[in-house]
Structure 1
């Protein structure tokens, strides 16, 4: 029953877009009344979250390929995954908003755990270091997991990564919000190129920027 509603929501997203998802449409498509949905989902945003996760696989698959490429340093891998994240988020802003930015209440981690318990195949063959990152919808935690790998290879100092993470996320969020709300004239490719350029400059020059004193504790 849970899957019926998620798959109906995914179909509406694919055909009409996230803003056009309503409880009534989902119920009608699934063949049940609206009240039944609330036996399985606390609110519409949770249903949209689960359905949106089904559209995240192209990004996940592309990120996995980066982790399988031989010879990349942690920094090269970090920047490449950021580039892929930007490409997919600017091409599918409503999907990424539903997963990473929308207000889901106090239980986003529980929602993600439940999703992977129902669709475990989505985590098959995911490298351990990437699986840790994919295991949380908290974009701040995702960034910190990735930056820890740069610390291990000596690219960054441990005391700088909180500030680096905050700066990189603010850059993406600012560009993404403008793009999502049609306040930017950039194409997805242009938005990706500019965002990644700023992130690259921060990461490559972080150890000379004395960020630790300004990091939010």
Structure 2
């Protein structure tokens, strides 16, 4: 690895770890460029030499807290016998974790972070490869996808091979389930509904199961 690349990654980590400390100690609302730079021991101008905008620093820092979720996904998927069951279980795991930490999952999966967001996932896991060292090899490509629709596509594609759904139904299932989750997360984030994380998970999963298991009754794309 070139010295320039090594230095760049080292500097990235200084700022990312500083931002992660602020999130952990003060919360997302307290993050500013100046605070991150001061905590890392540099000035704001130096930070901008390595990051295009604040949202990128927040994204990378948020990823430092995602490992409990990625570890749990593996456990959930092992409970399913078919791809459809695994798809539903994957959503249940996401709901469980995201509804308990809505700001964190919004920062990673929904916040505007500019062009080519998937490349940020690749860059993160290049620097912090230990975060996915125990993750199944066949599922690692999914981790580089920010879009929930793209993340679910591979499982639904396998479900068509198993004869459980038809290929033209993949898009409908993916879009509807993603919209249900996204809507609930936004409601929790904005405190629009007085639901506990468990209640929100139960409600979301009821809709997702109805969508997936009753797809043939839906008229979309038919």
Identify unmatched segments of 5+ residues in structure 1: none
The residue matched to 2:163 in structure 1 has which SS? coil
Relative to the length of structure 1, the TM-score reads: 0.93
Distance of 2:135 and 2:146 partners within structure 1: 16
Q: Give CA-to-partner distance per residue, 1:59-105, whole Å, 9 cap, x none.
A: 10000122344x62212211111111001111011110011000011
CA contact under 8 A between 1:132 and 1:145: conserved in structure 2?
no
- 1:107-118 paired onto structure 2 within 5 Å: 107-118=116-127
1:101 is the counterpart of 2:110: yes
Equivalent position of 2:157 in the other structure: 148
Pairing 1:8–2:2 present? no
Q: Which moved more, 1:107-116 or 1:189-198?
A: 107-116
Q: Secondary structure at the match of 2:146?
A: coil
Instruction: Tell me how far apart the structure 2 counterparts of residues 35 and 89 of structure 1 sit (CA, whole Å).
Output: 33
Question: Which residue is equivalent to 1:138?
Answer: 147
Q: Is 1:53 the equivalent of 2:75?
A: no
TM-score, with structure 2 as normaliser: 0.91
Q: Find the counterpart in structure 1 of residue 90 from structure 2.
A: 81
C-alpha separation in 2, matches of 1:5 and 1:150: 42
Cα deviation code 1:140-169 (max 9, x no counterpart) = 211222321222222211101101111111
How many Å separate the matches in 2 of 1:184 and 1:127? 36
Task: Say whether 1:188 aligns with 2:206.
Answer: no
**Aligned 8 A contact 1:157 1:207 in 2:** no
Q: Does residue 20 of the first structure (1) align with residue 27 of the second (2)?
A: no
**Counterpart check, 1:40 vs 2:50:** yes
* Most deviating of 153-162 and 142-151: 142-151
* 2:184 aligned with 1:175: yes
**Contact 1:13/1:21 (<8 A) preserved:** yes
Alpha-carbon contact 2:184-2:204 (below 8 Å) kept: yes
User: How far apart, CA to CA, are the structure 1 residues paired with 2:76 and 2:137?
Assistant: 13
2:8 corresponds in structure 1 to none
Preserved CA contact (<8 Å) 1:133 1:146 = no
Per-residue deviation, residues 96-137 of structure 1 (Å, max 9, x unmatched):
001100001112111111111101112223224422221211
Give the CA RMSD over aligned residues: 1.3
- How many residues in Structure 1 have an aligned counterpart in Structure 2? 212
Q: Output the CA distance in 1 between the equivalents of 2:103 and 2:159.
A: 30
